[in-house]
Structure 1
């Protein structure tokens, strides 16, 4: 996905969650495709919504995890790297506040993808998770090939890039992406912005209560 496409998607998400009301049902973000199907002999139009595709990554415990680890769960995903000198520390501290609030709640998971496929091996991710204060497997930190990690970022509508001119050598957005049981994107929030994190917490409560 090209940068302009990412920026357009980001602008759409930003506008959507800025204008979001206190409705009990959260919107579904991403592309949607109308399809015709036959029900009781009648042709009806259904909608296929954008979904996070199947994945397989190596986690901080050197164990492969897949999308099945998040089956029937709500989860929050983001993209970072352990030696990030800019937005990552704030983003992950804010995400940690949600982790602490829901620690041990098996309805909710956390999934952080490292975009530094060269340095952030499992042992590095393990140390990072420990220093952050993560003590259970509810929050997964994962690594993979550049193609796989950057490819899945596209699915989350999050811009990521290897960029020598960027702080730390990588450029990325600091979104915390809220995913529902059906792998649909239900919100994206600036993880460095306190008001956006508060909105995420509110929307998370709404989403969990809807199941």
Structure 2
């Protein structure tokens, strides 16, 4: 959590400096480095941003989903488990607003990673999706090796999930907005409706950026 807040703080000035007139540009989260490269005999300085690494999981239909499956997509990610008695039901009731807003969009996806793959089989995830009235390929519920999921969570700049003494799972309730270049562009408390409204507005803003436009 401190990592996420620190990244957000670093980006406040960046975000402010990227307001061109009245047009808003979303910040890019995470560490970055500047690299020099030679292009046609000239030295060009390029910025290398933090991105989501390669991954491979199985969705509620039994299909393999990788980072390449999301090429050309803006997506929202979160971490949950189907037997969660606390924040997960609230998060996904709120995420339904995002799903309904963009379910007909060809370039927006939702990715929910289970942190309890031992229980959350493909059939369990499919039943979970059905209860939420989720159909089609806009919202994927994913499961894979727990250690892979836990490690990947750190790339999303959220607190790594944990298990307590009673074998319950502890995790953040954040929704993470990722652009078509696999860069993090926003984080939102998924338990708060106003934060989810902000997420919906930011997805619309992100889609207007030149390198995110669905017509490109």
- The normalised TM-score by structure 1 is 0.89
Cα 1:16–1:45 shift into 2, 3 Å: closer
Where do 5+ consecutive residues of structure 2 fail to align?
A: none
Distance 1:17 1:32 in 2: 11
Give the corresponding residue for 1:9.
3
Q: Match of 2:58, SS?
A: strand
Give the corresponding residue for 1:55.
55
Give the corresponding residue for 1:123.
123
* Deviation by residue 1:152-177 (Cα, 9 ceiling, x = unmatched): 111111223232257x7001001110
Residue 98 (structure 1) aligned with residue 92 (structure 2): no
Distance 1:10 1:115 in 2: 19
Give the corresponding residue for 1:148.
148
User: Aligned-residue CA RMSD in angstroms?
Assistant: 2.0
Distance 1:18 1:87 in 2: 28
Distance 1:68 1:163 in 2: 30
What aligned pairs does 1:60-209 form with structure 2 within 5 A after superposition?
60-165=60-165, 169-209=168-208
Where do 5+ consecutive residues of structure 1 fail to align?
A: 1-6
Count of aligned positions:
204
Once the two structures are overlaid, the 10-residue window that deviates more, 183-192 or 38-47, is 38-47
- The normalised TM-score by structure 2 is 0.87
Runs of 4+ in 1 over 3 A off after TM superposition: 13-23
